[in-house]
Amino acid sequence: MTLVAVPFPPDQFEAWSQRSQRDYARAKVASGAWTEAEAPERARAEQAKLLPAGLDTPGHHLRRVEDATAGAFIGWFWIAPATGGPPDLGWLFDIEIVPEHRGQGHGRAVMALAEQEAQSMGFARLGLHVFAQNKVALHLYEACGFETSDVTMVKTLE
């Protein structure tokens, strides 16, 4: 199997955008950062701020990952300059392996493609955020050599 990253098809952007917003809103609610009532609008607003021109937003690279041999859709990733970060820091805003291809080692391969994309964009470093409750992703990122740079903690008071 040979995985390749190709430009995101414009006709798939709206479906990805809605799914990405929904998943982000759910994760923010699960983390305790947002309420269910406010989450959908906040997720929409954050994405609109980051991608004001959709796929045509300068500096933002959304890539569809495919198995070049079988033509199967494996997942996607989104890389851009880190918001407010130093110029050598790229940011992995979103990455996902579609459910039917999870648990088959594709996560590491897609991360390697994302790192190659970041280097081709001129970044020397790549950062990302992972929600603490996403243990599978956290383990993957650590296995790929990412190190914790910041920790936010919350305690529910009785």
CATH of the domain at 45: 3.40.630.30
Q: Are 123 and 90 in contact (CB under 8 A)?
A: yes
Give Cα separations from 148 to 30, 38, 70, 127, 130 (angstroms): 21, 29, 36, 10, 10
Structural domain containing residue 55: 3-143
Whether 94 has a pLDDT exceeding 90, the answer reads yes
User: Is 119 domain-assigned?
Assistant: yes
Helix (H) or strand (E) holding 138: helix 135-143
The model's pLDDT over 111-143, given as tens digits with 9 standing for 90+, comes to: 999 999 999 999 999 999 999 899 999 999 999
User: Is 124 domain-assigned?
Assistant: yes
How large is the average pLDDT for residues 84-88? 92
Residue 56 tokens, joined: 């045509």
When pLDDT is cut at 50, 70 and 90, the band that residue 72 belongs to is: very high
Q: What is the pLDDT of residue 89?
A: 96
Say which residues have a Cβ less than 8 Å from residue 113's Cβ, sequence separation at least 6: 3, 4, 5, 63, 65, 77
Distance of alpha carbon 104 from the chain centroid: 19
How large is the average pLDDT for residues 21-34? 95
Whether 151 has a pLDDT exceeding 90, the answer reads no
User: Is 134 domain-assigned?
Assistant: yes
Q: What is the pLDDT of residue 1?
A: 78
User: Is 102 domain-assigned?
Assistant: yes
Q: What is the pLDDT of residue 156?
A: 79
User: Is 155 domain-assigned?
Assistant: no
The model's pLDDT over 10-21, given as tens digits with 9 standing for 90+, comes to: 999 999 999 999
Number of domains in the chain: 1
